[in-house]
Amino acid sequence: MKVVSRVKFPKTAETSEVYMKLDAGTFIDFPASNSQIILSEGSTLSLNTYFNSIYEKFYTKYTTLSSLYYLLKLEGDFEVSAYRERYEASTKELILTKKLQQCQLSDDVKIFLPELKQSQEAGRIYLEITCLSEQGLFTEGLVVTEQEKHRDVSLGIITCTYKKEAYVKNTVNAILQDSFLHDKNFKIFVVDNGKTLNKSDFEDYRVKLISNRNVGGSGGFTKGLIEALQEGVYTHFLFMDDDIELDSEAIYRLFSLYEYAKQDFAVAGSMLDLHKKHILDEAGALYNKDFDDEGNLQDHPFKFARLKHNLDLRNSNSLNLLLLEDNIDYGAFWFFCCSQEVVKTIGLPLPFFIKIDDTEFGLRIKENFESGIVAFPSLAVWHEPFYAKSPVWALYYEYRNRLITNAIHRSFKYLEIIKRLTQTLIYYLLIFDYNSAKMMVKAFEDYMQGPSFMRTHDPELLHSWICEYSKSHKSQNMLTKSISNSDSEQITKAGTLQKLVSLLTLNGHFLPKFLISDETAVIRDGAKKRDSVCKGFAKKRLILIKEHHLVSYQNELDHQSGINILLDWIKSIIKSSFKWSYVTAEWKKAAKDLTSVQFWQNYLEPQNKTESQHPNYVKPREAA
């Protein structure tokens, strides 16, 4: 007997509906360490949920599993029914029903499922348990097989952190305290970029604390990966971000998935919104793609399409939609697993510090492995949503690393890149966002230095400089979100002439100062509709309210800064036009070296550490 997965109980009321559906006659006490469901006569407990469905279509495609049954601990009289739902079908299919009498918690109840179906006939299977006695208890459920596993799996779990001690400790403890994982072969490598953790924080022999320089997430993950590789015992490696909330069942299911896998594939865990815990934010993504207003995919060199985005997991239709598998380009490192063979074939991540390192790593996997990357439903973590964290300095890494990744994997035409970047720069200037504009220009300039930039610049010192540089303009401030962003508020649109005037004057940058009114424009930027930025024309200030963001932004017009940034960009365009093809080829050529162990060992612990050679570099405390 081999336990493939467990029926998981919710730990909090806010997560209840992604684990179980409880009607008026069912009761669970929160918080519950020894969870049990109390049912009254006629009440039904449904496992028609995200975490407790069996995704038959994925199991039969990617594993050899074909025969499963449930082991349930029940007390009382019950009717247990199993259903299958498919995306293509509009109704649920009853695949078995069984009446049980005088169940005792001391005796496991076996519910054998029919043979799992293949291809289009496969779907999503779940149980519903109806109480027939005056009261009933349900305390445990296991999904079990009698099939022998194909291989032993040993897992190197790597998490990188920078001063997020509480998150990391919770994640590590969740894994160590899971009794079902005690018999599994794993080790947790905690890479501490902030040097704020102590060995006494992790006394278990299955945890290794690694003190590291602040070389970003890519440097931290790679440091942990190198340490794990050197031990030479792990068949697979799991990357996990430090700011996640983990249900350790995801790791247990990961073991089962690889133990029965038909072929080698990477697993991209999905991201659930930490603030709205029933919302699926992303289940894999596509690179250089974006959805238009009608939901159609289109090419875009600086966008990515988040798949299954914003699904409400309380809805059965959403769960069935997960059965439609996407050919994803990458999975983010909040929960991403691949085999030793993958690392041996494609090398280590690129030294990106943060941003796009997981994207580029995924693109290499997809190019080299037929099965690629699988976003297996129910393997997920809760993660801080993107709308809740958007520091300006991150834009530098976003643009620089996207340019590098495009050079390696897809060479867009020079004019297409310049057109897209110029449109973005103009937008930043129209809303007086000079810090973001400077981040983009600097990212482009550093990309144009070629791969020697990565070899000669100390990432720690560069990051300090970038953080200070991103705050150069003190005319920009974050505000607490006290201004309403209701959908009922009227959205202002601009006519063609107004748009032309705003563009030609750059919303007032080219107007004399006496024509600028001492007023504040409020611009609401939503997912589906947005105020015209022309509202800021000839105004001294504007407040930008971004939908879902926890803060608003107040920017003030600065004539000289806007004009200087535009001139700097024009100079960069002129310089880059002569060497674009050469630099692009150099990045592509250098990729193999930049992902080698030899490069990374020197990058992580340079022999001759000196101050950054970044042009215009000054120590952070002296920055403007």
- What Rg, from alpha-carbon coordinates, does the chain have? 27
pLDDT band for position 623 (cuts 50, 70, 90): very low
* Res 486 pLDDT > 60: no
Give the per-residue pLDDT at 527.
56
Helix then strand then coil, in percent of the chain rounded to 5, is 35, 25, 40
Q: Can you point out the beta strands (E) in 434-569?
A: 476-480, 517-525, 539-546, 551-556
Phi and psi at residue 15, in whole multiples of 5°?
-105, 5
The per-residue b/e assignment along 289-326, b for 16 or more CB within 10 angstroms, e otherwise, is: bbbeeeeeeeebbbbbbbbbeebebeebebbbebbebb
Q: Are strands 551-556 and 2-6 parallel, antiparallel or unpaired?
A: unpaired
Give the per-residue pLDDT at 389.
66
Cα distances (angstroms) measured from residue 442 to each of 513, 519, 564, 614: 28, 31, 13, 11
d(CA 473, CA 491): 29
* Res 618 pLDDT > 50: no
* Res 488 pLDDT > 50: no
- 593: how many CB neighbours lie within 10 A of its CB? 13
Q: In terms of residues, how long is the chain?
A: 624
pLDDT band for position 622 (cuts 50, 70, 90): very low
Give the per-residue pLDDT at 303.
87
Give the per-residue pLDDT at 296.
84
Q: What is the pLDDT of residues 42-52, one digit of tens each?
A: 999 999 999 99
Chain centroid to CA 142: 29
pLDDT band for position 621 (cuts 50, 70, 90): very low
Whether 374 contacts 268, CB under 8 Å = yes
* Res 184 pLDDT > 90: yes
d(CA 478, CA 580): 37
The amino acid sitting at 385 is P
Tokens of 210: 């690694």
pLDDT band for position 412 (cuts 50, 70, 90): confident
* % the chain with pLDDT above 70: 93
Non-local CB neighbours of 615 within 8 Å, separated by 6+ positions:
445
Instruction: State the pTM of this model.
Output: 0.92
Give the per-residue pLDDT at 480.
64
d(CA 343, CA 60): 26
| Helix 559-594 and helix 414-430, axial crossing angle in degrees, nearest 10 | 140
Give the per-residue pLDDT at 301.
83
When pLDDT is averaged across residues 5-26 and rounded to a whole number, the result is 94
| 69-73, 356-360, 385-389, 418-422, range with the lowest pLDDT | 385-389
Q: What is the pLDDT of residues 293-321, one digit of tens each?
A: 777 888 888 889 999 999 999 999 999 99
- 449: how many CB neighbours lie within 10 A of its CB? 15
Give the per-residue pLDDT at 619.
45
| Residue bearing the bigger pLDDT, 388 or 111 | 111
* Res 485 pLDDT > 70: no
Q: Can you point out the beta strands (E) in 235-347?
A: 236-240, 244-245, 266-268, 270-273, 279-282, 285-291, 297-306, 311-312, 336-339
d(CA 193, CA 84): 47
Give the per-residue pLDDT at 89.
80
H helical segments located in 53-195: 56-62, 165-176
| 200-204, 209-213, 465-469, 543-547, range with the lowest pLDDT | 543-547
d(CA 97, CA 477): 62
Beta bridge partners of 290: 298
Q: Are strands 517-525 and 539-546 parallel, antiparallel or unpaired?
A: parallel
Give the per-residue pLDDT at 553.
86
C-alpha neighbours within 13 Å on the C-beta side of residue 47: 30
When pLDDT is averaged across residues 68-95 and rounded to a whole number, the result is 95
| 196-205, 231-240, 469-478, 508-517, range with the lowest pLDDT | 469-478
The amino acid sitting at 142 is L
* SS3 state of residue 128: strand
Give the per-residue pLDDT at 624.
31
* SS3 state of residue 366: helix
Whether 158 contacts 221, CB under 8 Å = yes
Give the per-residue pLDDT at 178.
95
**Preceding amide of 301 cis, omega within 30:** no
Whether 213 contacts 160, CB under 8 Å = no
Tokens of 136: 């009933």
Domains belonging to the chain, first-starting first, are: 2-145 (2.60.120), 154-388 (3.90.550.60), 394-560 (no CATH)
Tokens of 307: 């798949």
Give the per-residue pLDDT at 487.
45
What does the mean pLDDT of the chain come to?
92
Give the per-residue pLDDT at 120.
86
Give the per-residue pLDDT at 483.
53
Intra-chain end-to-end CA distance of the chain, in Å: 66
d(CA 169, CA 159): 11
pLDDT band for position 620 (cuts 50, 70, 90): very low
* SS3 state of residue 10: coil
When pLDDT is averaged across residues 125-139 and rounded to a whole number, the result is 97
Of 616, 622, 508, 500, which is closest to residue 561 (Cα–Cα)? Answer: 508
